[in-house]
Structure 1
């Protein structure tokens, strides 16, 4: 089912990246500007904002596999080194590339699946793909940009909203709420403090209109507000020792 989902998504992208789009990408498209001068514009894809599950689908790699990063080949066992100087060097040395070697591995795996009827998760297929956490789906970006030195892995940057505010920070806040649940009345005090907080600036901190502990109708901007003001609200809470 996961394989069909990947194939379906990239079939859609192949329709979007049709011959008309590729001609505009290579030769440009002439547009008459408002000043009366005709200018030639070239379509370019600089970045693609997505959360991790969507990045996995678009970069055609295994979800949380042995090499889970969409941009590099750092093994899962080295993730704890993130932020170190060694990690910075390894990211550059082991960056994923859309080259002939990558494309040949995908085609070889597909030949086993569609030509010799091997299952997607079979050992012969996984021997080809698993070392780099790849999947047997030919990427639409790889197929449509073979001659433009376009490395599609590089367009998937870190998305702060999805990966921090709605990802790591949201998980941490849920854990903090579970800790407060062990203290009688602690969540009520927290909700009162948030509701009593006035707005600050035009869009820096918005008013909290409901009980935060219920986590109802919270968007990314709300989790951003929580993160900015959390320290003051948690500062005087006393957590009993166990």
Structure 2
């Protein structure tokens, strides 16, 4: 895994992240591409067709069992996701977020992947895990661990595995994004509202950037897990740099490195 994972966003969102000292995950069904999870389901179905029914003899299950579980996943898919990229200073990412930002004021927050994993473990998030753009080999590698279990809840186990696996599949058309995800399961009604914030009509689960039972800025390798911050090609670099220096000075910790994108324009 890369030591730094980038979260492309807007300057306005960066201010909110620092104000709340947390990230907000999105409902998996509300991603920019609302059809992403269907890509994952279809890729598994295509893979089953390529294998031509050989799962019965190799893994002790049938294509129909897997298809039934896939249908269950399609109906019950839930959970929250945080998206990162291993691609630093990427033109396609800057284009996407500059179009969302007022005046093109986009930034990329470089998080320590080690710190993210530690925070995830503390707050019931999985990952960071790399998205699968050609999922066949990984599907085969993980599937036996589920199907060889002698469990009366075979269908539930298979559905659970497929639900989590599907959350990491993306179309190969987006491979340049080199995406990593942190995911968690459950809905606001099942988990309770204390871990969620209502933003724009959507309940979004918080990932605090502070470890439980630790003072702010203690316990992680970087303050709030932030290794560095990059300003986008259209962003007012001086304004962002001054804001960050003042913020971290008031918090009495060292400011992460602030750098400017090397891409001249978009």
The reply to whether TM is greater than 0.5 is: no
Normalized against structure 2, the TM-score is what? 0.21
Bigger relative contact order, structure 1 or 2, given CA contacts below 8 A and separation 6+? 2
